[in-house]
Structure 1
Amino acid sequence: MPTSFSTFAPAKVNLFLHVGPAKANGRHDLDSLVVFAGPEAADRLTVEPSDILTLSVTGPGAEKAGTGGDNLVLKAARALQAEAGIKHGAALHLEKSLPVAAGIGGGSADAAAALRLLTRLWDINPRHARAVAPQLGGDVPVALLGQPAFMRGEGERVEPVRLPAPIPAVLFNPGMACPTGPVFAAFDAADGGAGFAECGPLPEFADMGELIDWLAGQRNDLEAPALTLHAALKSPEWSLNGPKSPLMTRMSGSGATFVCLYATLDAARESAESLRAQQPEAWVRATLLGGADLS
């Protein structure tokens, strides 16, 4: 039997995000079509047997992610331990490559990876992971599934969907943090969420062009408040022109990461190279969006 398990924790992308008004519990109903990046835009988590729970973190985002009790990996491990009645621990190691507070669910992806790996390491029923996922954050249940899906309710309702094909894309983060709390507060202050309604089942698309045409009629309700809060935050579209022009550009989540959709992966890679040359401080990844590579 293996003595350790490892998996990617890929970036989550909101192809659209509709947000309802604040509820009595302070949270919001959501309606979002969620997909996942490839291994080019992912953290990686490894777990090994241990008597106690420990977490080590390396990589470009290690300092911001931290190893304290507020790290979602440790929160997920402790919640799963309690839910399943597990007495022993695990040594967890996170290679943190995704930017923090970036609207791509990095912490949630890490938590979901911990739930998957510890389910295997401790040989427990996966229902325990599904039970604790919603309490860890709105993005954790969909990240646990790791497949294209509608994310609804407060994130606890996850409905898998079928896309015509993986979507070539560039993920662009200018190197600034955009914490979720203030963005939702600005959304609430502007009386956001009026007229909120779920968009219904996903249509059957014959090809990628039909999907992108449909997405163009949707929106991200958190994009405007994020741009208002962070005046320096600008879409990369201004610097992409000619053959590098994306078919569509939209902010993911509460920002500050933008997703640019393309017809081909080669076009996405060319645009990513152009963006890196113009803004070397930015985090830029060309990838295919769809189901997560959990190997």
Structure 2
Amino acid sequence: MQALIEQALSEDGRAKVNLTLRVIGRRTDGYHDIESVVAFADCADHLTLTPGPELGLVATGPLAEACGATSDNLVIKAAHLLRERVPDLKVGSFTLDKVLPVAAGIGGGSADAAAALRLLAQLNGLALDDQRLHAVALATGADVPVCLASRPCDMTGVGESLLPLSLPIMPCVMVNPRVPVATKDVFNALGLRNGQLLVGATDVLRGTAWPQAGASVEDWVEVLAASSNDLEGPATRIQPIIGEVISALAATNGAWLARMSGSGATCFALYENTADAGRAADAIRRDHPEWWVHAGTLS
């Protein structure tokens, strides 16, 4: 049994995509309340944990240099916070294969931190519904709780309230122009004062009726198109290239919906089938070889 425990454990940190993002308002404490339909892509960072006495992190992969200082990494932050709450927490050395763009609106760092929490839970025999895991996830970052489950949901509050949704498999193309965008800068550009509501109380209570289980991609696109990402405008003012990415996606054959994810700069388009998505990705790669492009599915 001990030999099995000492074996390296691994998890994927799947990219998060905000299909919608509505900013409800800014709390008196400065945090923003949001509502967002979140899905997860079939592209991911890969995290390995080798059990040992010391907590550490080594980044590898094509985007390893973009990870910054190890001490600032959310993987290490999440591990430290969990160790504060779980006596005698077993830890070890993490190896992060970094393939997702950073500061990109797809929760790469949050997905990595969530993967680290799942690995530590497995190593220490903690259930994934352990409240300490969820408390640490939220303390690590607003997107970490949703990434902990990595399942489609309607996320509200500051990221702590998650309502599961049943999404069909959605063919998509994701594009990042390799320009980082800081989330705090985008929210600052939104310009809300502490205590200011952006959405009326009646609208908050009414909400959106999302499609039920068994709904088609077309059904979902029809409802999603009636919503938006409230951060798209401020993010585009900070990095105008976001508008170019959305236009490039919208111009591809078969694109049903093109929009920015999160606080940017990654944008996505939804398609009827994976063949259309693949051809669209090829066209964008040909016209913009400097951009990061992924063709796949959301679920």
Correspondence for 2:298: 289
SS in 2 for 1:175: coil
Q: Tell me which of 187, 191, 196 is aligned to 1:188.
A: 191
Correspondence for 1:154: 158
SS in 2 for 1:233: helix
Correspondence for 1:74: 76
Correspondence for 2:10: 6
Kindly state the Cα deviation for residue 86 of structure 1 after the two structures are TM-superposed.
2.5
Determine whether 1:132 maps to 2:136: yes
Mean alpha-carbon deviation: is it higher for 41-50 or for 201-210? 201-210
Correspondence for 1:203: 211
Query: Partner amino acid for 2:11?
Result: T
Correspondence for 1:34: 38
Q: Tell me which of 174, 179, 182 is aligned to 1:176.
A: 179
Kindly state the Cα deviation for residue 109 of structure 1 after the two structures are TM-superposed.
0.3
Kindly state the Cα deviation for residue 100 of structure 1 after the two structures are TM-superposed.
0.6
Whether the 8 Å contact between 1:34 and 1:149 is mirrored in structure 2 is yes
| Distance of 2:277 and 2:150 partners within structure 1 | 22
Kindly state the Cα deviation for residue 234 of structure 1 after the two structures are TM-superposed.
2.2
Kindly state the Cα deviation for residue 116 of structure 1 after the two structures are TM-superposed.
0.3
**Could you tell me the TM-score, scaled by structure 1's length?**
0.92
| Distance of 1:240 and 1:139 partners within structure 2 | 25
Determine whether 1:229 maps to 2:238: yes
Correspondence for 1:293: none
SS in 1 for 2:191: helix
Whether the 8 Å contact between 2:90 and 2:120 is mirrored in structure 1 is no
| Distance of 2:251 and 2:224 partners within structure 1 | 22
Q: Tell me which of 82, 88, 91 is aligned to 1:89.
A: 91
Map 1:96-135 to 2 at 5 A: 96-126=98-128, 127=130, 128-135=132-139
Q: Note closer, same or farther for the CA distance 1:27–1:179 as it changes in structure 2 (3 Å cut).
A: same
Kindly state the Cα deviation for residue 188 of structure 1 after the two structures are TM-superposed.
2.0
| Distance of 1:62 and 1:270 partners within structure 2 | 29
Q: Tell me which of 211, 221, 225 is aligned to 1:216.
A: 225
Query: Partner amino acid for 2:100?
Result: L
| Distance of 2:297 and 2:258 partners within structure 1 | 15
SS in 1 for 2:269: strand
Kindly state the Cα deviation for residue 206 of structure 1 after the two structures are TM-superposed.
3.2
Determine whether 1:20 maps to 2:5: no
- Gap runs ≥5 in structure 2: none
Correspondence for 2:149: 145
Query: Partner amino acid for 1:193?
Result: L
Correspondence for 1:248: 257
| Distance of 1:84 and 1:201 partners within structure 2 | 39
Q: Tell me which of 252, 257, 269 is aligned to 1:260.
A: 269
SS in 2 for 1:16: coil
**Could you tell me the TM-score, scaled by structure 2's length?**
0.90
- Gap runs ≥5 in structure 1: 291-295
More RCO (CA 8 Å, sep 6+): 1
Whether the 8 Å contact between 1:16 and 1:215 is mirrored in structure 2 is yes
| Distance of 1:176 and 1:192 partners within structure 2 | 30
Q: Note closer, same or farther for the CA distance 1:5–1:186 as it changes in structure 2 (3 Å cut).
A: same
Kindly state the Cα deviation for residue 80 of structure 1 after the two structures are TM-superposed.
1.4
Q: Which runs of 4+ in 1 moved over 4 A?
A: 189-192, 240-243
Query: Partner amino acid for 1:278?
Result: D
Whether the 8 Å contact between 1:57 and 1:67 is mirrored in structure 2 is no
Q: Note closer, same or farther for the CA distance 1:232–1:242 as it changes in structure 2 (3 Å cut).
A: closer
Computed over aligned residues only, the root mean square deviation of the Cα atoms, in angstroms, reads 1.9
SS in 1 for 2:19: strand
